[in-house]
Amino acid sequence: MRRILTGAAAAALLGAAWLALNASGQSTVNGPQPAAGAMAIAKGPGFAVSRAAMINATGSIDAVSDATLTDCVHVDGTGSPCAPAGTVNRGAGYASSRAAVINSLGLIDGAAGTTTWCLHVDGTSTGICVERGAGFAVTRAAIINASGGLDGAAGSPSDCMHVDGSSGACPGGGSSPNFSDDETPAQVDALNYTLAHTPSPAASLQVFVNGLRAERGVDYTITGGSNNTVTFVAYWSALLTAPLAAGTILVVHYRY
User: Which of 71, 106, 129 corresponds to the end of one domain?
Assistant: 129
Least confident stretch, 129-138, 169-178, 244-253: 169-178
pLDDT for res 232: 96
Torsion of Cα atoms, 7 then 8 then 13 then 15, to 10°: 110
Q: Which domain holds residue 146?
A: 142-173
Same domain, 147 and 200: no
If 0-12 CB within 10 Å is exposed, 13-18 middle and 19+ buried, where does residue 11 land? buried
In angstroms, the CA 109 to CA 94 distance is 4
Question: Which of 21-30, 69-78, 104-113, 198-207 shows the highest mean pLDDT?
Answer: 198-207
Question: Which of 18-27, 122-131, 166-175, 192-201 shows the highest mean pLDDT?
Answer: 192-201
Whether residue 73 lies inside any domain: the answer is no
Same domain, 152 and 197: no
Report the share of the chain in percent with pLDDT over 90. Answer: 26
**Could you report the per-residue pLDDT of 144-176, keeping only the tens digit for each?**
888 888 888 888 887 888 888 888 877 765 567
The DSSP 8-state label assigned to residue 52 in this structure reads: B
Q: Give the chain's mean pLDDT.
A: 79
Domain count of the fold of the chain? 4
**Could you report the per-residue pLDDT of 5-39, keeping only the tens digit for each?**
444 444 444 443 344 455 555 554 444 455 555 56
pLDDT for res 123: 77
